[in-house]
Amino acid sequence: MRALLCLLLSSAAVLCRAGVILENGGPIMWSHATDQLTDLPITEGVLTPDPWHYLHRMSFYRLLIASTNPYMSSMGPGENMSPIWGLPLQLGWMLSSGRLADPTGSTACGIPTGDTADMCISTSSWWGCVNYFNSALPFLSAAKQGFMGDGVSVQLQVPAGVEEYCTTYDSCKAAFPDAINNWDMFFQGLKESTSSPLPENEKQDAILGLYWKAQTSSIAASSTCINKLGSYSSVEKNFAQSWLNAGEYVAAARFQSSLDLASQFMAPLPGRILKEDDVPPNIPDLTAEENHSLYIFSWMRSADSFLGGTLVNLWRNAMCSVTTRESGREMLRQLLFNTEYATSSFLTIVTSMSTSCA
């Protein structure tokens, strides 16, 4: 087991020292994923993909983007403007950074071998578990809402002995009604947007509001993954919690996670699993940008914790209009990319914005 764990850590370090987000201009192994439903397994007329195979899970996203693009004209010109692009980019980063592998080291699942037929996602991975709720659930909802074709029935595969994951639309709705209902509302809202009289910028904002409400409800549902965090170092656990906290700000600002914008924001994410002796933001083998992002994520969570959750609430209150959300997205960009942008300025501006919205 010790040798296997060493292999896991060394593989992540070699592959991802600089953090890999894009491959040939798209998410990692995007060209190997399918945009044809019939390429996925079908058993007795029921679609039976395996969400614990990386390429099947990536195919969920490719199918989602292809089927919803006709309804995304308000996002801007071209096929790369959908907010859904952020999810496959996130999954690719998890793969390239070693975060989809078995953190216990007891299996080789998730360790890259170069064989596309052998690309399992470990059911012991906290990251893989959290992503399940933002891949399987929207795919099941989209199929139910007719985006995969008329009458498509889906039964997701699950590894033997694993019982904590829902595998059908009905079982997921019973276990996580808020998440499924919000994804349903997002897909229904897309269809309705084609006949909406709203100006394009307001239509875009409304679609993004539905999208982020669905995604945050999936993240809330993924709280069932919490026990899997125990297999990571305390530094990685702190980063994971800070990553979730940062998502609250991104969602409230209704970030348009297009292919270009999402890849820019994900580029500074740490390119490997953090170890017990790592001391952010001074980790020698990570880039200055990666260290800075770790500092900012940690600061945002610490400030929110110190204020008893007030900072996130202030931020949500401040994101009360199309205009303030545009300002909020720019503030997040400054925090992440401008090392001269003072965190104290962020607090002052957020407090002022939230007051003006009241």
pTM for this model (two decimals): 0.93
Instruction: Read off the pLDDT band of 9 (50, 70, 90).
Output: very low
**pLDDT above 60 (res 18):** no
Which helix (H) or strand (E) element contains residue 72? none
Number of Cβ within 10 Å of residue 314's Cβ equals: 20
Which pLDDT value is given to residue 115?
Answer: 85
Q: What are phi and psi of 254, to 5 degrees?
A: 55, 55
**pLDDT above 90 (res 141):** yes
Per-chain mean pLDDT for the chain: 92
Is 162:208 a contact under the CB 8 Å cutoff?
no
Which pLDDT value is given to residue 358?
Answer: 57
**Residue pLDDT, tens place only, 51-99:** 999 999 999 999 999 999 999 999 999 999 999 999 999 999 999 999 9
Which pLDDT value is given to residue 14?
Answer: 37
Please state whether beta strands 42-43 and 46-47 pair in parallel, antiparallel, or not at all (unpaired). Answer: antiparallel
231 closest CA partner among 132, 123, 158, 131: 123
C-alpha R_g of the chain: 20
Q: Give the Cα separation of 171 and 25 in Å (integer).
A: 36
